[in-house]
Structure 1
Amino acid sequence: MSSHAPSAAPARRAEPAPLSRRLVLLLALTCGVAVGNLYFPQAVGPLVADGLGVSPGAAALVVTAAQFGYAAGNFLLVPLGDRVPHRTLIVVLLVLTGVGLLAAAGSPALPPLLGASAFVGITTVVAQVIAPMAAGLVAEERRGAVLGTLLSGSIGGILLARAFGGVVGERLGWRGPYVVSAVAALALAIVLAAALPAAMTPARVPYRALLAGPPRLLRREPELRRSCLYQATVFGGFQAVWTGVALYLTGPEYRLGASAVGVLALAGVVTMASTPVAGRLVDRRGADAVNLAAIAGTIASAGVLALGVAGGAAGLAALAAGTLLLDVAMQAGMVANQARVFALRPDARSRINTAYMTCAFLGGSTGSLLGARAHAAFGWPGVCGLVAALASVALARHLHHLWSSRP
């Protein structure tokens, strides 16, 4: 733990009320519903284009607006978890998300729909508020298991959102998924207003200091920087694969449709079960041990994925196995890293999470760009080599840490 003093003296806090298993599952469901708001619009894009009389390319801007809004919400709103009581912040964000979804459902044209989508993206950052809150409400020996369960909820939201959007959209029109999602968000707001403990938060840090907190914490906390490096490199490899595999499967080697990529992504369902297991391993063996396994698994996945050059059924089986191994490794590393960083500064968990997630998504964006370039220059083997190279950076840093920390 850093020896630097907090930017403001912490207020008196009551002992955290324990999170029951039922409440943890409710929070995991909330994470899935919130994250799903970013992904179900991808399935209703063609319906939006037909319904509003715009081109498919213009309708795709709805997803882009939500994603940019989500990035802004992480920067502007998530740090408020270190100032505003968590129950209040979570309930207000869910209510605002519900209002934004209803506004999107009632949009008469594309411009107001884009504005509503950006607003939904900004406010649907509840999962990034819940994780730091939960880390402070459970004993250290349960932290990894709880974070793994919450992450499995988010994964479920990502996997199911597109199917939900497509099915509901086909039956009720493109506005239907927005209405159903709004009802879900508002219902969860009511339930959580009664179910969440009224936990105290640290002193009222000025908002400007909250925004300046993430970069300051990155400078001051070596363990935060180490965790950010691990996740940025592994998530970068993950994004490189999913960018490259879409090009590979639809290219001359396999000549499959875009739906094949979606079917391949369904292998990630296994990850929903694996993340709670990874969390329990963090509690028993420590974050470093799980990080080492996650990094090694990422490197191994690059070798399995490279067998995709075989083509045919054998190649597809290798791609499915490799993407599954990579997904499990990346998510296990996420649990380990969050368990480590949330233990650093109890007074600044939300700001720490903002710094961590920003680095992770910067790494993912860079990996996606590099994956496309590697595929263009060297084909599928180049993408696999990129994954191995990025994970090797994390492995070298981790081995250095283990060596330097030896007594």
Structure 2
Amino acid sequence: MTSLPDGPPGAAPPTMSRRLILLLALTCAVGVGNIYFPQAIGPLVAAGLHESPGSAALVVTTTQIGYTAGIFLLVPLGDRLPHRPFLVTLLTLSGAGLLLAGCAPTLPVLVVASALIGVTTVAAQIVGPLAAGLVAEDRRGAVIGTLLSGSIGGMLPARTFSGSLGDRLGWRAPYLVAALVVLLLAAVLARTLPTTVPPSRGPYPALLAEPLRLLRAEPELRRSCLYQATVFAGFSAVWTCVAFLLTGPTYHQGAEAVGLLALVGAATMFATPWAGRVVDRRGPDVVNLVCVLAVLGSTAILAVGARGGPVGVAALVVGTLLLDIAMQSGMVANQARVFALRPDARSRLNTAYMTCAYLGGSAGSWVGVRVYGRAGWRGVCALAALLAATALARHLVAVCRSAKSPAVAGRCP
């Protein structure tokens, strides 16, 4: 195996081959797909296990909470352990969790399996810092955008695949097929992924504590965390509840419709590399502002989906496409900002960032289901708009504080 050390800060990073970038993008696709495919089969799980839709939604929420825990507990080890055996071990454990989920006889067992899947399927968050250390600074945004395209390329087919397969063979089938795919990828990585030399030799307790210290010490990290946590919370609320909207009395569709709706987000795969190039040229703030405004616009369009009929379908298609592009492009900007802060601690920075983001996503799913039960689809859209407005307000404060004009700065909060 070829050794690819991250090297000391300031050293010229080695060049990543296109084959390696594509392999890492595929790893991101498979890992992220495991987080999102349960969203499309929530109603099938509820029917198959004779549970209420609200109870079945716990599967999605638990997977996201487990993912957040995995980011906090395992991703810091990316600065301490060689990446190849670390990634292979995580994927193997994730495959075991998927097998358990596919065989779960009751909802509690499925929830436990979902937690295991979430904790161990953090491969994309190991790959990001790895890749950031292997490319020059002026290419970092473009490579992050490519990896994120891989994640999106896994997320979208995962929803479509699970919805279609679940409608035909039952909710267990997507879990069992996903287990096979994950275990095959683990075998491929064990043979082909280059060996890397981690940048840190710190003990595990110190690695766990470091993300909290970085959050206190790095204002730009806190800002990126707030942006992504709020936007991702709205995103998760929308995608968790759209399954109930489409399968409910307004549209009378099956789970396959949720997967087909997710396919419209395929354009996001082309948008994120472009967003990365814009970040490389103009910095992350411009991209963040455009993305937050786009999220606000998407919520207004999505609200029309409550009407049903052809107009409602068109609103859901356009609104989810805009929401997906905005959320994922904002992710590129935020990660580029975060990875530039401390080259020797990228995994720990990513731990802090992604933990905050997925805490927001988990909360968004949980709150979204409850808002949907009380205020319907329009209430969920209003929730997403409120969260995006919070990110916009924080962005305007940051721009105001950084303004050079004393007259402008004097009006800042």
Verify: 1:330 aligned to 2:327, yes or no: yes
Q: Give the counterpart letter for 1:277 in structure 2.
A: W
Is the Cα contact below 8 Å between 1:70 and 1:121 reproduced in 2?
Answer: yes
Tell me the TM-score normalized by structure 2.
0.80
Q: Give the counterpart letter for 1:19 in structure 2.
A: M
- Match of residue 289 from structure 1: 286
- Match of residue 192 from structure 1: 189
Is the Cα contact below 8 Å between 2:301 and 2:319 reproduced in 1?
Answer: yes
RMSD value, Cα: 3.6
**Aligned positions of 1:125-144 closer than 5 A:** 125-144=122-141
**Aligned positions of 1:207-226 closer than 5 A:** 207-226=204-223
Verify: 1:353 aligned to 2:350, yes or no: yes
State how far apart, in whole Å, the 2-side matches of 1:39 and 1:24 are: 23
Deviation of 1:48 (Å): 9.2
Q: Deviations over 1:220-276 (max 9, x none)?
A: 110010001111111122223334544544555x34335344432222222222222
Q: Deviations over 1:123-180 (max 9, x none)?
A: 2211111011111111111111111121122222222224445667799998876665
Deviation of 1:311 (Å): 4.5
Go from structure 1 to structure 2 and tell me whether the alpha carbon gap of 1:320 and 1:229 turns closer, same or farther (over 3 Å shift).
same
Q: Deviations over 1:47-86 (max 9, x none)?
A: 9999xxx835499687676555433322221110011122
SS at match of 1:152: helix
SS at match of 1:137: coil
Q: 1:257 aligns with which of 240, 253, 257?
A: 253
Residues paired across the two proteins, number: 393
Go from structure 1 to structure 2 and tell me whether the alpha carbon gap of 1:243 and 1:141 turns closer, same or farther (over 3 Å shift).
same
Shifted more, 358-367 versus 22-31: the winner is: 358-367
SS at match of 1:37: helix
Tell me the TM-score normalized by structure 1.
0.81
Go from structure 1 to structure 2 and tell me whether the alpha carbon gap of 1:309 and 1:182 turns closer, same or farther (over 3 Å shift).
closer
Gaps of 5+ in 1: 1-9
State how far apart, in whole Å, the 1-side matches of 2:323 and 2:171 are: 34
- Match of residue 395 from structure 2: 398
Verify: 1:23 aligned to 2:20, yes or no: yes
Q: Give the counterpart letter for 2:299 in structure 1.
A: A
Go from structure 1 to structure 2 and tell me whether the alpha carbon gap of 1:97 and 1:263 turns closer, same or farther (over 3 Å shift).
closer
- Match of residue 75 from structure 2: 78
Go from structure 1 to structure 2 and tell me whether the alpha carbon gap of 1:15 and 1:186 turns closer, same or farther (over 3 Å shift).
farther
Go from structure 1 to structure 2 and tell me whether the alpha carbon gap of 1:315 and 1:131 turns closer, same or farther (over 3 Å shift).
same
Deviation of 1:200 (Å): 2.2
Q: Give the counterpart letter for 2:278 in structure 1.
A: L
State how far apart, in whole Å, the 1-side matches of 2:309 and 2:131 are: 46
Q: Give the counterpart letter for 2:394 in structure 1.
A: R
- Match of residue 55 from structure 1: 49
State how far apart, in whole Å, the 1-side matches of 2:158 and 2:40 are: 8
Shifted more, 387-396 versus 24-33: the winner is: 387-396
Q: Give the counterpart letter for 2:23 in structure 1.
A: L
Is the Cα contact below 8 Å between 2:39 and 2:243 reproduced in 1?
Answer: no
Is the Cα contact below 8 Å between 1:281 and 1:290 reproduced in 2?
Answer: yes
Q: Deviations over 1:288-323 (max 9, x none)?
A: 111011011112222323444554322321222112
Q: Deviations over 1:322-356 (max 9, x none)?
A: 12111111111011101111111122211211211
Q: Deviations over 1:189-246 (max 9, x none)?
A: 4443454443322231111111112222111110010001111111122223334544
**Aligned positions of 1:4-403 closer than 5 A:** 15-40=12-37, 55-57=49-51, 66-98=63-95, 118-165=115-162, 181-249=178-246, 254-259=250-255, 260-308=257-305, 311-375=308-372, 378-403=375-400
Q: Give the counterpart letter for 2:144 in structure 1.
A: L
Deviation of 1:12 (Å): 5.3
State how far apart, in whole Å, the 2-side matches of 1:49 and 1:381 are: 23
Deviation of 1:112 (Å): 7.8
State how far apart, in whole Å, the 2-side matches of 1:91 and 1:217 are: 28
Q: Give the counterpart letter for 1:144 in structure 2.
A: G
Identity, in percent, stands at 63
